[in-house]
């Protein structure tokens, strides 16, 4: 296999543990709801909210603002009415404080020694920068849907990475824990690497991480990916 020049990483679920992080914060706030259920419900609003932007129903809207729209609706649905504006803002910014998976920093550091590494996330730039600072994610470059004003799986996001780095699409490899993201990247000519994250939705909801056709690489985690990509 000819090796790529640039590795672009999905972030939520692939590099960081959104479910565990959100569930812990919700439980710590003592809101009287199950953190696992609240985290899943918050994430379930993610794709529908982005679809409102993709369809033109909403103008360009940052993920921080979409997360807040979903949160306000969830607080009503879960019967949580006592949080003031400061508490709502703090809870919404929990997405800036997501913990990396245990292998992420070590794996990214090894991969960075040989490749240009960047994020390619629907998260906005401020969110991704705060997350990287807190978690020690060693990106060479932070790329976001915000840069391209388009949410994945819009081709502008995947092809935008190649344009930023001045390389051909086939010299970029998308690394993700989501087969739909990877399939969209392949349709744009990118190489793809699947990373297993069986606990993305928490230990009560294990995910099928079986290999699927099409990916160039299938890795159990980011350290294993570094092994496979000769770092």
Helix (H) or strand (E) holding 108: helix 104-112
Q: What are the residue boundaries of the structural domains of the chain, listed by start?
A: 6-17+98-228, 19-96
Is the model more confident about 2 or about 76? 76
Cα 171 to chain center, whole Å?
A: 21
pLDDT range class, residue 93, cuts 50, 70, 90: very high
Architecture of domain 6-17+98-228: 3-Layer(aba) Sandwich (3.40)
Do β-strands 191-195 and 6-9 pair in parallel, antiparallel, or remain unpaired?
A: unpaired
Can you give the pLDDT at residue 2? 79
pLDDT range class, residue 60, cuts 50, 70, 90: very high
Cα separation, 36 vs 20, whole angstroms: 8
Q: In terms of Cα–Cα distance, which of 203, 231, 207 is closest to 217?
A: 231
The two domains 6-17+98-228 and 19-96 share their CATH topology (first three levels equal): no
Q: What average pLDDT score do residues 111-130 get?
A: 98
Distances (CA, A) of 7 to 115, 122, 128, 143: 7, 16, 17, 12
Tokens describing residue 186: 């392949």
Cα 230 to chain center, whole Å?
A: 24
CATH number for the segment(s) 19-96: 1.10.150.240
Asked whether 80 and 32 are in contact (CB, 8 A), the reply is: yes
């Amino acid at each position: 296999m000819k090796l790529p020049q640039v590795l672009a990483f999905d972030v939520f679920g692939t590099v960081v543990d959104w479910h565990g992080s959100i569930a812990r914060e919700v439980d710590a706030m003592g809101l009287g709801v199950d953190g696992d259920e609240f985290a899943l419900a918050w994430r379930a609003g993610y794709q529908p909210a982005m679809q409102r932007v993709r369809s033109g129903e909403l103008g360009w809207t940052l993920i921080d603002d979409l997360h807040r729209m979903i949160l306000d609706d969830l607080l009503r649905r879960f019967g949580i009415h006592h949080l003031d504006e400061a508490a709502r803002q703090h809870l919404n910014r929990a997405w800036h404080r997501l913990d990396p998976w245990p292998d992420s920093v070590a794996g990214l550091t090894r991969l960075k020694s040989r490749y240009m590494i960047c994020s390619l996330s629907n998260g906005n730039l401020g969110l991704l920068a705060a997350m990287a600072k807190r978690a020690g994610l060693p990106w060479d470059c932070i790329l976001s849907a915000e840069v391209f004003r388009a949410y994945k799986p819009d081709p502008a996001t995947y092809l935008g990475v190649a344009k930023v780095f001045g390389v051909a699409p086939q010299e970029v490899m998308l690394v993700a824990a989501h087969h739909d993201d990877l399939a969209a990247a392949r349709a744009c000519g990118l190489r793809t690497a699947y990373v297993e994250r069986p606990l993305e939705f928490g230990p009560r909801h294990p995910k099928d991480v079986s290999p699927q056709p099409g990916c160039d690489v299938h890795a159990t985690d980011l350290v294993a990916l570094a092994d496979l990509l000769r770092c």
